[in-house]
Every structure is written in C-alpha cells, then in structure tokens.
Amino acid sequence: MTDFTFDGPVDAARCLVLAHGAGAPSDSPFMAHFAEGVASAGIRVARFEFPYMVRRREDGKRRPPDRAPVLIDSWQKAVEEITQTGVVWDRLFIGGKSLGGRVASMIADDAGIAGLVCLGYPFHPPGKPDRTRVDHLVHLDTPAIFVQGERDALGSRSDVAGYKLAPGINLQWLADGDHSFKPRKASGRTEQQNWNDGVAAIVEFVNGT
C-alpha cells in the first residue's frame, strides 16, 4: 500500500497527488510549501514516496532512484489507491517535483486524470540540452501546467523556447529561478516570492481545469 501524507479538506472537490524529486523526500521544505500552500486554497493534496526513498527513510542510506518501470508502477499504484480511499473527488490531478513530475507525465494520458502539475520539469540532464526528455510531451493530451525557473539548469526559458510541446501545456516561468525556483540576489526577487507565485499558478490551474 502507498503511504500518503495529506493536506487540505477531506471533502474538497479537487485532489492533487504529488511525488518528490530525485534527491529530496516528500517532506522537504520545497514539497511541504507547495503541498500546504495549494491545500490552503481548499484543494486536497496527497504526497507519497517512491520505493527507493522509502528505503532511505528506513535505513538513512542515500541511493539513486529506482529504474523507470518501478517508478511508473509506483505512480500507477498511487493513482489507483487514491481513488479507493472512499472519497470521490470531482477532479483528480497528479504531478510532482522534477523526477516525480516527469514520471507523472509519462502515465498522465492513461491515468484518467483531469490535469498534470510539474514543478521544475527535467527537460534535459544538466549541461546536456541536446538530450531532451520531451518526446512524449509533444502528443500529451492531458491539460498541464509546468512551473519552471527561468534559469533551470535542466530546462531554462531559452532552452524550452526551442522545444515543440503539446498545446495543452501551460508554462509558468518564475523570475530568475533555478531548478528549485531560487533566484539570485541581484534579481530583486526572493525564493519565497517565487514559491508563492508557483503555488498561486497551480491553484488557478487546478480550480480552472
């Protein structure tokens, strides 16, 4: 069984399920801020962890992410189990930070969901913009919002401008943000401002989809 962490009202009309990125768990400050921020708008939010992160939590040993088939299976099980909790939501959304969002995007069209939410999508490995991870995004039918830092080393604004993406993907750029949306001091922006703007964009997308 998938172990979920919930935020927001049980009787919400909409539910968003989020998975973490490759290196940080589901209760990292980043994940907690976005989950709690979206939940404060009256949306039910559920977080879960992939098997490798569960093992890390148990023994404290850092390990690389599971292979793609395991990650995909974990996401599919999470979607299946969240719909069997006895609560019926009008609209179900899935997504996550970096790796979590990427895997969610791979199952989105077959998952019967209302929308996809990606935070810092890894469009390519660091320093390798030619090795893109966008083939399946060209034909994505699921409405989606990608909240992305303008300076993201895994997909900056200039990088992504050259990609062909499905028309249903809404790109929300956070000013001068890196992969975790942190801007440089010289930008005049703060990480908190970017995080809050990201939360607001997600709430608007979920409530309007």
How many whole angstroms from its chain centre is CA 25? 13
What distance in Å separates the CA atoms of residue 166 and residue 135, rounded to the nearest whole number? Answer: 10
What DSSP line would sit under 74-122, residue for residue?
HHHHHHHHHTTSS---SEEEEEEETHHHHHHHHHGGGTT-SEEEEES--
Residues whose CB falls within 8 Å of the CB of residue 6, separated by 6 or more in sequence, listed in order: 44, 45, 46, 47
- Which residue has tokens 């998975």? 19
Query: Vertex 8, ends 6 and 14: CA angle to 5°?
Result: 100
| Single pTM value for the model | 0.97
Which mean pLDDT values do the consecutive 10-residue runs of the chain (209 residues) have? 95 98 97 99 98 96 96 98 85 98 98 98 93 96 99 97 96 99 98 99 98
What distance in Å separates the CA atoms of residue 17 and residue 190, rounded to the nearest whole number? Answer: 27
Number of domains in the chain: 1
Structure tokens, 29: 């400050």
Domain membership of residue 81 as a residue range: 5-208
Whole-number pLDDT of residue 30: 99
Whole-number pLDDT of residue 125: 94
The CATH number linked to 23 is 3.40.50.1820
What DSSP line would sit under the chain, residue for residue?
----EEES-TT-SEEEEEE--SSS-TTSHHHHHHHHHHHTTT-EEEEE--HHHHHHHHH----PPPPHHHHHHHHHHHHHHHTTSS---SEEEEEEETHHHHHHHHHGGGTT-SEEEEES---S-TT-TTS---GGGTT--S-EEEEEETT-TTS-HHHHTTS---TTEEEEEETT--TT-PPPGGGT--HHHHHHHHHHHHHHHHHH-
